[in-house]
Amino acid sequence: MDFLPADLTAYAETHTSPESTLLQQLNRNTRAQVMAPRMLSGHLQGRLLSMIAHMIRPRRILEIGTYTGYSALCLAEGLTDDGLLITLEQNEELEDFARSYWQQSPLGAKIDLRIGSAADIIPALDETFDLVFIDADKRNNQLYYELIFDKLRPGGFILADNVLWSGKVVAPVKTNDTDTKTVLAFNQLVQNDPRVENILLPIRDGIMLIRKR
């Protein structure tokens, strides 16, 4: 996921507002205790999510893919006073870990975790969202995009993570590399969608920032 030289990445992080103490603990303990810690948003990306949420001031956020709850806390920082973040996670084994950190934050009361398949949950959501963060299984990115599109207000934003896929999007695609093909197809779908404006940000593993017209 790290495309910049390590010293440039370190320089960027030292010139980025620091994580809170709680986020630092969550970051550290995720890396120490949970499988696949590379899925964590982390310091730089987390501050970007927080900054975007503060800029938008969303009343409703949908997050697809909770993992250990780090990105949910970052996004929740920008919610309106009456705001709510609904986060969807299929792996029920991560629930207690995430909740243990949310409970230490006043933002925890604004986070609504739903356990189950996002493809099943999203159609039943009776909400209009200002911001959606897609950060789950990449093979279903296109499905999630289409499911949430009509639930996103005009002028609302979608963030899709891992759109550079560790640089594989510009490497020769192996015949059996389904994940890379799926990411390439999703990026092209967004690029060709007349309903949106988009910019691919080469931050960490790539974030597609999308605005619904």
3-class SS string, the chain: CCCCCHHHHHHHHHCCCCCCHHHHHHHHHHHHHCCCHHHCCHHHHHHHHHHHHHHHCCCEEEEECCCCCHHHHHHHCCCCCCCEEEEEECCHHHHHHHHHHHCCCHHHHHEEEEECCHHHHHHHCCCCEEEEEECCCHHHHHHHHHHHHCCEEEEEEEEEECCCHHHHHHCCCCCCCHHHHHHHHHHHHHHHCCCEEEEEECCCCCEEEEEEC
Token representation of residue 58:
């969303």
Of 105-119, 123-137, 175-189, the one with minimum mean pLDDT is: 175-189
pLDDT tens-digit readout, 76-123? 999 999 999 999 999 999 999 999 999 999 999 999 999 999 999 999
User: What is the mean pLDDT of the segment spanning 18-42?
Assistant: 92
Contact 190, 160 (CB under 8 A): yes
The reported pLDDT for the residue numbered 35 is 82
Residue 1: its pLDDT value, please? 64
Q: Each residue of 187-212: pLDDT tens digit?
A: 999 999 999 999 999 998 999 999 99
User: Higher pLDDT residue, 171 or 13?
Assistant: 13
Mean of per-residue pLDDT scores for the chain: 95
pLDDT tens for 46-77 read: 999 999 999 999 999 999 999 999 999 999 99
In this prediction the pTM is 0.95
Q: What is the largest CA-CA distance in the chain?
A: 49
Domains of the chain (ranges plus CATH)? 6-212 (3.40.50.150)
Give which of 43, 74, 75, 81 is closest to 62, Cα–Cα: 75
CA pair distance 187, 140, nearest whole angstrom:
13
Instruction: Please give the radius of gyration of the chain, using alpha carbons only, rounded to the nearest integer.
Output: 16
Q: What is the pLDDT of residue 9?
A: 87
Other CB atoms within 10 Å distance of the CB of residue 212: 17
